[in-house]
Structures are given as structure tokens and as C-alpha cells.
Amino acid sequence: MDFIDQIKAISQQIQKLKEQILTEEATKSAFVMPFINALGYNVFNPTEVCPEFTADVPGLKGEKVDYAIIKDNSPIILIECKWCGGSLENPKHSSQLHRYFHATEAKFGVLTNGIIYRFYTDTEKSDVMDEKPFFEFNMIDFNESIINELKRFSKLTFNPSELCDVAKNMLYTTEIKRLMAEQLFDPSPDFVKFFAGQVYTGKLVASVVEKFTEITKRSLKEFINDRITDRLKSAIDLPDTTAPALTSTELQDTEAELVSSYSSHEIITTEEELEGFYIIKAILREIIPAGRVQFKNTKSYFGINIDGKVSKTICRLWLNPNKRVIGILDAEGKEARKTISSIDEIYGLAEILKDRTKHLIQGSVKDSLPPELEK
């Protein structure tokens, strides 16, 4: 079985079992060990994959990391595991791995909940783990390109010296892409001035910069639209006159995916958002395979969609401590929102959610949403 097929098999297993996995130990057995095994390391050989590896830290003797991958009797990758239903955002999780990293010879550390894998190294200061991961892999949301990056950590291809250079490039590339995505939505004055200065000969006073801010935003959107249209033309081999142009909704979806992808390490997925996701998956289980219902978290909202496509959004959630809102789209793409007092109220919208999902997979949904959802 190819590496990508092994990862896909584990991904399917995760989507089937994650709601039944209630402890960290179960997460390690069901999700993490198969993942390590897929990378080519023998999880049943403690000289290659050592569980509960002792990483003595000055002043804290006997601290143990969940797994250490060993080569030539020395740890090369440390793996710290958490429960699959929990978030990795708690600073104490990465601080634990930080201590283990400093106390061993390993150059790579991994923090995981069995679904998200965050890879760290020491690009900024030797033997001190970076605060930000240089690579993140999501077991239920990946593509072939990111699989190739993950494969660098497999037993057959692992090259620590080469990976150190790759890690730096990946970290810098991710940050630059994140900045570019932010500029797409909210270009800074300096960014606007850079372009305006190339085409405008007058003085760039505040009013001119304000005017060019809107021009720059529109130009960026049109540029992306043109590039995607070109790729569509190439993919389906249509002449220019028949190439499909993206609608404004599709373009907005594409922009949202860009920002979501490049800013994912700053986005926190809360337990309440995951609970809402699982409720909606349970509601839709009778009309669509559970694995096709996925989520895409952004800075603005928590979206639930089909097959990971923003253009197939079922609903969006805004879950703040003081206000909880669910938004569902109708057949025309208009969103209606309802304020809910608790996550459990989603069950009361089951039929509406099913209608929306049927429309996305069959094209059979009511033209408008019920009056209980106010537009």
C-alpha cells in the first residue's frame, strides 16, 4: 500500500472512531501509533519507537515524552500526544515539548492530538524549540502536495540535515503566504503605496491612498479570478470564449480558503465548535456518509461543508461566550442566521440542515428557508 493510501486509511478510521475515543491513551493506540507505523517506523520495536521515553530535565527528573523515534541509539523525533477531542492551543502543551526538546539530542518535535500534527525544530536558536511549528498536517484535511511534505519524515527518506533547511523555508514561506492572504482582504497603507507609486504620478496623500486601497483590493481579486479561470481553461481544454468565469460567491470562497489555509496556526478550534460539528454530522448521518461532512475554521467563522469545499457550505457557526449564532444558506446562496442559547438547539434545526445538504448533493431543497431563521 502506498504511503498516501495508508494515510487515507488512517484518516477514514479517525472519522469513524473519533467520537468514541475519550482518552489520551485511546488516542495514542487508535490514531497515533498507526500514523507512526505508516511513516515506516516499527511501533513494536522499542529500540526504534520508544514509548514513555525519559527526557531528564534539570530540576525535573524523570519527565517522559510519549514517544521517541530512535536512530543509532539516539532520539531523532519526539512526539507528545494529547486527547483527540482536545485543542493543541494550550500553551502548556507546547511548553512540555519545549522542555523535552531541550533535554535530548532530537532535532524535531511533534505535538499531536491524533488529528492535527504540528512539527517543530530550532530554526531561530540552536537546541531551543521554536514557538511556531514549521509544518502542520491535518489527518482529515490534506492534499497530495502536503502528503509529499509529510513523507520527508518517513523512515526511508528522513534526512535531518536536509530537513533543517526545508523547515526554515517552510516556516518563512508559510508566514509570507499568511501576510499575502491578509493583504488580499485588508491591504496596509505601505502595501497600497507600493502599487499606487508605480501607476500614480501625483503625491500620495491620505485621500489618494484611501482611493487606491479600494482599487488595490479590486485588482487583487480580479487577478486571482483571472488566474483561476486560466487554470480552469487549461484543465478542461476549452477555448477562451467558453472558459467559465468564477462567480463573485466562488471568488469570495476562494479568498476565504486562502486566508484560512495560510493563517491556520493562528486559528483556535474550540471544544464547543467541535461539539457543534459532531452534532451536525450526527444529524446528517442518514443522508450523507459522515466522512464527507468536514469543517473549515477561519478567523471569521467556523464553517461546516461537504468534502472540504467552501463552495459546498452547509452552515456556519459563530460561537462566542456572549452570543451563539448559526447561519444556513438557501438555494440562492443567501444566508439566514439564528441566535441560539446553547449548542443543543442545533438539533431543532435538523430538517433545515438536511434540506441544505440534500440541495448540495442532489439539488433538491426548498427555495427559501423557514421563517424561524431571520435573514
Same domain, 198 and 299: no
Same domain, 11 and 115: yes
Same domain, 154 and 275: no
Q: Please tell me the distance from the alpha carbon of residue 316 to that of residue 59, in angstroms, as a whole number.
A: 47
CB burial of residue 147 (10 Å; 0-12, 13-18, 19+): middle
**Cβ-based neighbour number of residue 81 at 10 Å:** 21
Predicted confidence (pLDDT) at residue 258 exceeds the cutoff of 60? no
312 within domain boundaries: yes
Same domain, 8 and 148: yes
pLDDT in tens, 82-135: 999 888 887 777 777 888 887 788 889 999 999 999 999 988 888 888 888 888
Q: In this structure, are residues 343 and 275 in contact, taking their beta carbons and an 8 Å threshold? A: yes
Domain, as residue range, for 19: 3-172
What is the 8-class DSSP label of residue 30?
I
Same domain, 148 and 296: no
Domain boundary among 262, 287, 311: 262
Same domain, 277 and 354: yes
Q: Which residue has the higher pLDDT, 168 or 282?
A: 282
pLDDT in tens, 67-80: 999 998 889 999 99
**pTM of the prediction?**
0.55
**pLDDT over 70, % of the chain:** 83
371 within domain boundaries: no
369 within domain boundaries: no
278 within domain boundaries: yes
Domain boundary among 229, 262, 295: 262
**Cβ-based neighbour number of residue 184 at 10 Å:** 19
367 within domain boundaries: no
179 within domain boundaries: no
Confidence at residue 267, expressed as pLDDT on a 0 to 100 scale:
67
Specify the range with the lowest mean pLDDT, choosing from 20-24, 170-174, 243-247, 249-253.
243-247
Q: Return the bridge partners of 68, or none.
A: 50, 78
181 within domain boundaries: no
Q: In this structure, are residues 270 and 319 in contact, taking their beta carbons and an 8 Å threshold? A: yes
Same domain, 233 and 295: no
pLDDT in tens, 120-130: 998 888 888 88
Who's near 361: CB < 8 A, 6+ residues apart? 287, 288, 306
Predicted confidence (pLDDT) at residue 237 exceeds the cutoff of 50? no
Confidence at residue 256, expressed as pLDDT on a 0 to 100 scale:
55
Looking up residue 28, the CATH number of its domain turns out to be: 3.90.1570.30
The mean pLDDT of the chain is 81
Mean pLDDT of 314-336: 84
Confidence at residue 13, expressed as pLDDT on a 0 to 100 scale:
92
Same domain, 280 and 358: yes
Domain boundary among 197, 227, 262: 262
The number of folded domains in the chain is 3
Q: Please tell me the distance from the alpha carbon of residue 78 to that of residue 112, in angstroms, as a whole number.
A: 11
Q: Return the bridge partners of 53, or none.
A: 65
Same domain, 274 and 348: yes
Q: In this structure, are residues 337 and 374 in contact, taking their beta carbons and an 8 Å threshold? A: yes
**E strands, 121-237, where?**
135-138
The bridge status of strand 293-297 relative to strand 335-340 is: unpaired
Confidence at residue 253, expressed as pLDDT on a 0 to 100 scale:
54
